Amino acid sequence: MKDEYRGQLFRDVVAALDQTGHKMCVLRGYQSYPERIGSDIDAISEDPAQIPRILSEHQVATVVRCFRYITKYIFVLYRQHDDGPVFLDLDVSADYRYDGRIYYSGEEFLSSCRSFKFFSIPSAELEFGAYLIKHITQRSLDEAKCRRLTELYEEDPTGCERQLARFFPRAETEFIADSARSGNWEPVRSRIEHLRREVLNKTARAQQSRLLLHRLGAPWRRLERILRPAGLMIAVLGVDGAGKSTVMARIASDLSPAFPATKLYHRRPLASLRRWRERDNVGNGDDSKHIVNTHAQPYRNRASSLAKLAFWWADYMFLGYIADIFPRLVDSTLVLFDRYYYDLLVYPKRYRYGGPLWLAYFVGLFIPRPHLVILLDAPPEVIHARKQEVSPEETARQRDAYLQLVERMPNGHVVDASKPLSHVVTEVEGIVLDYMAARTARRLSI
């Protein structure tokens, strides 16, 4: 069903662009569209930066994530359906380039594209040239790609040979053309390193200044990713029995198409690293076997509590956030915390903290803040019916303390966890996706 929804979303994207006269050409992998769409849609557009505005004005989709690399944009489009959120990755460029080298201008593609179903695709000649250059420079010319190149060559042998002569010397042009005619690409694959050098050297000579600027700009592009990481860090709070693990597992599954990776932490970063041994995907959410029951254990003495508080601060700030969490955010990971430092402020007995609570609050001011804090709230009797690890009075106290804490947070949200699970998940995902859309709109100045 998700494939059908993604296909319809793609249809609506193309229709919205067509209505505004915006030209877009789908580059490759389009044979199964719209019934089956792979990981993303690669396309050339006359002005990729205008696509979010067009889709927003036509109410087609919301852009919840965007990665920009010179003239290339990767948009993660989102639309809500009854079955959950649907995502579509649109990888759009203004020209055809790799490693700072421009192989084809966008105008060349758009002026010669042809119709296929309800969208535009390149001429066989240009698709052949672009596809070959990409997989030679990336050393990824496998059998399936070779078969596709032969199909394109058979559509327009003269045009394809014209593209070969554009990038290779005469001998190499004839050599590759022979493979395309016969369908036997093994000789080309065996000499791929030589052919790669030919392409790179020829384009380097013609584009020396552009390559120099590309190399000089690499540190600044990396710095921009560090200053504005595309990942998302969410802390899910609630009294035992609120349903945190179950909701987090659903969120991780439903939102995974919008992120390259997902990472779950329980309480503290360092403890999670040890417990899950770098398990990057959320499982079934059942971590009860890892949790030591501390409800009946005594508080630590004052000195031990203060030492432990200092360690927790170092864990959240240095050992956890700077060393592990922040690099994941830079790499666009969805980071989910079951509880967080805030749990210590609500229920210090869980951590056997016997020091002054005001000091724990003060230290909390210097802990990295999640982008979103979501409290799963329910009446005490509902929560206590699910879990009876503490008394009803303690359940009610914790619930009130959580509400007071989260309602003071500008990034805090309270969700009624007494509703059916599907309603709770939809509301939480709505909060997350609204935040992502607003952040992306700010960054794109929409």
CATH number corresponding to 230-444: 3.40.50.300
User: With 80 as the cut, is the pLDDT of residue 292 above it?
Assistant: no
- The one-letter amino acid code at 112 reads S
The number of beta carbons lying within 10 Å of the beta carbon of residue 1 is: 10
The dihedral built from the CA positions of residue 65, 68, 69 and 71, taken in this order, carries a sign that is positive
- φ/ψ (deg, to 5) at 348: -60, -25
Would you place residue 289 in the very low, low, confident or very high pLDDT band (cuts 50, 70, 90)?
very low
Instruction: For residue range 252-264, list pLDDT tens digits in order.
Output: 999 999 999 999 9
* Least confident window among 35-39, 130-134, 221-225, 266-270: 266-270
* Least confident window among 40-49, 148-157, 270-279: 270-279
User: With 70 as the cut, is the pLDDT of residue 272 above it?
Assistant: no
- Tokens representing 398 are 């914790």
What does DSSP assign to residue 315?
I
Q: What is the pLDDT of residue 309?
A: 93
Mean pLDDT to the nearest integer, 288-304? 69
Q: What is the pLDDT of residue 271?
A: 55
Residues 6+ apart with CB under 8 A from 150: 180, 183, 185
Give the chain's mean pLDDT: 90
Q: Where are the domains of the chain?
A: 2-224, 230-444
**What DSSP string describes 274-320?**
HHHSS--S--SS--GGG----TTSPPPPHHHHHHHHHHHHHIIIIII
Q: What is the pLDDT of residue 370?
A: 96
